[in-house]
């Protein structure tokens, strides 16, 4: 598309920044802001291209940059977010105040990646590598990450839909009361994540790739062959006869609205529908399966002996966000 170079590179300086250049850039931005990076170097009197100035500012000179080694909590956050988002460093950085995407990327490539390899995990998929016993789907890592998000989101929407069937046993408790209604708030917690930077990042990315949901390890996901979101759009999950090799494809025409109408339905794998007359016991069973499966998908749960679940809860709590808090408490003994 005839893209012009970002700047006229003739006569512009490259390489490491000098303290003098740093000072000029900082002083200029302090007094003028950084409205246009392209014109900034000329206005500030720097022989650098705008791109270089932006990079220097965002990665090094910004006053809110947090320097120094990564903490253990930050490391775990990066690993978890990388498990969900893949190499989307900017999205990961948005969850780590004061850290830049470049810094996180470097830290990942020089430390965390090696650590995962040493643990016998594929740094891209966070699964056991080819020598291990866990073989996931043939989908690309980014697709799997999206699939995890999408799977959990679908379940959250399905749960909301399902909840709308159940008569409130305690009419005095308002539906907006989150603390006294864990089931309801569980869905809300997910939707809050969904509406956060991470969710936004996922939504933007997912526009570019067809959605493939790999849910072979998920009994409830296999069972959930279709659901309706709040706008009445049906999301189809075609059952597969060989789920280990062929991840089920989902044509998701979803909206971001939660399900709420009384005629929304969640259909079971046997072809039967969960209707409003379903027993509470069945609902409870579905609830348990659904929540555990969702968590495992979301966290790439590595299995017994891991403390990652507990960590993740801590991370989310730090951000005033918790995914299915009651379940996390129950499952933290894994």
Residues near DNA (CB under 7 A): 1-4, 6, 9, 13-17, 35-38, 48, 50-52, 54-56, 59-60, 87-91, 101-103, 105-107, 109-111, 204, 207-208
Shortest distance, position 40 Cβ to DNA, whole Å:
8
Shortest distance, position 93 Cβ to DNA, whole Å:
7
CB closer to DNA out of 13 and 183? 13
Shortest distance, position 22 Cβ to DNA, whole Å:
8
Strands 266-267 and 273-274: antiparallel
CB closer to DNA out of 94 and 278? 94
Shortest distance, position 3 Cβ to DNA, whole Å:
5
CB closer to DNA out of 9 and 30? 9
CB closer to DNA out of 91 and 215? 91
Shortest distance, position 141 Cβ to DNA, whole Å:
10
Backbone angles phi, psi at 293, to 5 degrees: -60, -40
* Rounded Cα gap, residues 192 and 178, in angstroms: 13
CB closer to DNA out of 89 and 312? 89
* Rounded Cα gap, residues 334 and 148, in angstroms: 20
Backbone angles phi, psi at 309, to 5 degrees: -60, -45
Strands 226-228 and 266-267: antiparallel
> Hey, how many other C-beta atoms are within 10 angstroms of the C-beta on 17?
18
* Rounded Cα gap, residues 132 and 42, in angstroms: 56
CB closer to DNA out of 16 and 169? 16
Shortest distance, position 4 Cβ to DNA, whole Å:
3
DSSP per residue over 125-167, as a string?
A: T-SB-TTSS----SS-HHHHHHHHHHHHHHHHHHHHHHHTTS-
Q: What SS3 state is found at 274?
A: strand
Shortest distance, position 14 Cβ to DNA, whole Å:
4
Residues facing 226 on adjacent strands? 236, 267
CB closer to DNA out of 51 and 246? 51
Phi-psi region of 121 (alpha: psi -120 to 50; beta: other; left: phi over 0): beta
CB closer to DNA out of 124 and 294? 124
Shortest distance, position 49 Cβ to DNA, whole Å:
8
CB closer to DNA out of 88 and 136? 88
Shortest distance, position 69 Cβ to DNA, whole Å:
8
Q: What are 219's two structure tokens?
A: 């009994």
- Alpha-carbon distances of 125 from 112, 146, 196, rounded to whole Å: 13, 12, 23
* Rounded Cα gap, residues 265 and 311, in angstroms: 35
Q: What SS3 state is found at 171?
A: coil
């Amino acid at each position: 598309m005839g893209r012009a170079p970002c700047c006229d590179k003739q006569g512009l300086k490259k390489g490491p920044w000098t303290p003098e250049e740093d000072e000029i850039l900082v002083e200029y931005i302090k007094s003028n802001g950084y409205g246009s990076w392209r014109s900034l170097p000329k206005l500030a009197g720097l022989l650098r291209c705008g791109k270089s100035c932006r990079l220097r500012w965002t990665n090094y000179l910004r006053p809110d940059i947090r320097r120094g080694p990564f903490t253990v909590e930050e490391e775990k956050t990066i690993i978890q977010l990388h498990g969900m988002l893949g190499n989307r460093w900017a999205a990961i950085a948005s969850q780590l105040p004061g850290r830049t995407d470049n810094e996180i990327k470097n830290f990942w490539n020089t430390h965390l990646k090696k650590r995962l390899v040493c643990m016998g995990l594929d740094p891209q998929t966070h699964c056991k590598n080819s020598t291990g016993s866990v073989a996931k789907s043939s989908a690309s890592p980014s697709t799997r990450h999206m699939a995890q998000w999408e799977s959990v989101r679908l379940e959250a929407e399905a749960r909301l839909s399902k909840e709308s069937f159940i008569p409130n046993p305690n009419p005095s408790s308002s539906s907006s009361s989150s603390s006294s209604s864990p089931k309801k708030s569980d869905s809300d917690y997910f939707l809050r994540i969904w509406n956060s930077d991470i969710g936004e990042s996922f939504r933007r990315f997912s526009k570019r790739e067809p959605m493939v949901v790999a849910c072979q390890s998920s009994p409830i996901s296999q069972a959930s062959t279709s659901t309706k979101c709040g706008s009445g759009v049906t999301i189809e999950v075609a059952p597969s006869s060989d789920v280990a090799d062929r991840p089920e494809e989902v044509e998701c025409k979803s909206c971001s609205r939660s399900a709420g109408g009384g005629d929304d339905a969640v259909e079971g794998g046997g072809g039967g529908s969960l209707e409003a007359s379903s027993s509470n016991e069945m609902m409870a069973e579905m609830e348990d399966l659904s929540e555990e499966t969702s968590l495992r998908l979301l966290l790439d749960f590595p299995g017994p002996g891991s403390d990652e679940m507990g960590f993740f809860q801590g991370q989310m709590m730090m951000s005033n966000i918790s995914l299915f808090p009651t379940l996390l408490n129950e499952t933290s003994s894994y």
